[in-house]
Amino acid sequence: MNVLVTGGGGFLGLYIVEQLVAAGETVRVLCRGEYARLKELGVETVQGDIRDAATVELACEDIDTVYHTAAVSGIWGPWDYFYSINTQGTLNIIESCKSQGVTRLIYTSSPSVVYDGSAHENATEDLPYSEHFLCHYPHTKMLAERAVLAANGEAGLATVALRPHLIWGPRDNHLIPRLIQRAKSGRLRQVGEGTNLISMSYVENAAAAHLQAAARLFPDSPVGGQAYFINEPEPVLMWEWINQLLVEAGLQPVKKRISINAAKRIGSVLEFLFRVLHLPGEPPMTRFLASQLSSSHYYDVSRARHDFGYEPPVSFEVAMRRMKPELQRLAAQ
């Protein structure tokens, strides 16, 4: 198969590329920069931006399957920026897939497309899309996912959306590094009582889910046009897991706490100040972040297991062992 991975130099995308190469696929990557690891793997690269329709069209030439992982994440920033990449970029991918005769599109979505601020406990794919979003990332990802699923069956294209939750692991450049830096600076606070359960996705498992879904994706497949939660089958206590990561990094566990209501009030004030004063960066606390850090959000993966045989190949214990050197490196910086 000739395969395209958008964002193949990124965190999840690179693991997908590595697994595809190991499986003997012919891989092309659409990415904005140059990556030494991609050169080591010997894959073809097209440098460009998914916001540019002509570049996307070129990248999709002679491709059978597209794994679309490219996106911008975050809890702060202008609407146009998030929309242009997450939504319009995905629309470019869909149109190029149809015009170039691509037969399979596997889209990396997010559980946040259905997150409405309330607790999600063993939630299933029956949850509707949220109607109110506290930041632009989930809103633009929802619009993109909806378009991907609507395109299933058009011009011979089969589509599926996967929603991995809290992706973590070696080479993470977002979640774990920020956690370690906040802990080192003394700015990390437990929000709430610390009893909230969460799902998470070790990156190699999230990547494997994409290949597993692709293997069952074909015209008239029950997988086509569907969205699936992807995470480890058993949830963990969020703050217990965070403290475990900190201890493995050689740091002290979190001892200071803040109430849920106080965190949300602080987040609301900081959002206002950053918006009105046009402050650089992003607020250290927002209403969305306060909600994520204090509420339970874990998801049932039974449907993915039933429909395309989702099975995480790496256990939690092995994942933690593989992560330890990375944690210690980050703590030493």
Domain ranges of the chain: 2-168+199-234+299-312
Mean pLDDT of the chain: 94
Residue 233 Cα distances to 110, 205, 222, 275, 301, angstroms: 16, 11, 22, 39, 6
* Catalytic residue positions, numbered: 137
Token pair of 94 as six digits? 């869909």
Segment 188-237, tens digit of pLDDT:
899 989 899 999 999 999 999 999 999 999 988 999 999 999 999 999 99
Q: Is 83 exposed, middle or buried (0-12, 13-18, 19+ CB in 10 A)?
A: middle
Reported confidence tier of residue 173, pLDDT bands at 50, 70, 90: confident
Tokens linked to 235: 């949830």
How far is Cα 227 from Cα 203, in angstroms, rounded to an integer? 19
At 275 the pLDDT is: 87
Q: How far apart are CA 66 and CA 181, in angstroms?
A: 35
Per-residue pLDDT, 289: 84
SS3 content of the chain, % helix, strand, coil (to 5): 45, 15, 40
Q: What is the mean pLDDT of residues 145-171?
A: 97
Residue 47 has pLDDT above 90, yes or no: yes
Q: Determine the 3-state secondary structure of 90 from DSSP.
A: helix
Q: Is the pLDDT of residue 286 over 90?
A: no
Give the confidence band of 277 by pLDDT, cuts at 50, 70, 90: confident
Side chain identity at residue 182, one-letter code: R
| Res 75 pLDDT > 90 | no
Residue 122 has pLDDT above 90, yes or no: yes
- Residue 25: CA atoms inside 13 Å, Cβ hemisphere, count? 23
CA dihedral sign, ordered 12, 247, 314, 218: negative
Beta strands 236-237 and 197-198: pairing type?
Answer: antiparallel
For the cut 90, the answer to whether the pLDDT of residue 187 exceeds it is no
d(CA 53, CA 297): 36
- Residue 241 clears pLDDT 90, i.e. is over it: yes
**Does the structure show a pLDDT above 90 at 1?**
no
Residue 174's pLDDT is: 87
Q: What is the DSSP letter of 308?
A: H
Q: What is the pLDDT of residue 322?
A: 95
How far apart, in whole angstroms, are the C-alpha atoms of residue 164 and residue 205?
Answer: 9
Amino acid at position 202, single letter: Y
Q: Please tell me which residue, 277 or 14, carries the higher pLDDT value.
A: 14
Task: Put residue 153 in one of left, alpha, beta given phi > 0 → left and psi -120 to 50 → alpha.
Answer: left
Instruction: Indicate if the pLDDT at residue 280 is higher than 90.
Output: no
Q: Which token pair is 226?
A: 């569907």
Structure tokens at 189: 């606070």
From the list 202, 208, 232, 196, the residue with the least C-alpha distance to 119 is 196
- Residue 284, token pair as written in the block: 């250290």
To the nearest whole percent, how much of the chain has pLDDT over 90? 81
Rounded CA-CA distance 67/108 in Å is: 8
Structure tokens at 255: 């001892």
Helix 136-150 to helix 89-100 angle (10° resolution) is 20
DSSP state of 83: I
β pairing state of 65-68 and 44-47: unpaired
Q: Confidence class of residue 254 from pLDDT cuts 50, 70 and 90?
A: very high
CATH architecture designation of domain 2-168+199-234+299-312:
3-Layer(aba) Sandwich (3.40)
Q: How confident is the model at residue 118 (pLDDT cuts 50, 70, 90)?
A: confident
pTM: 0.94
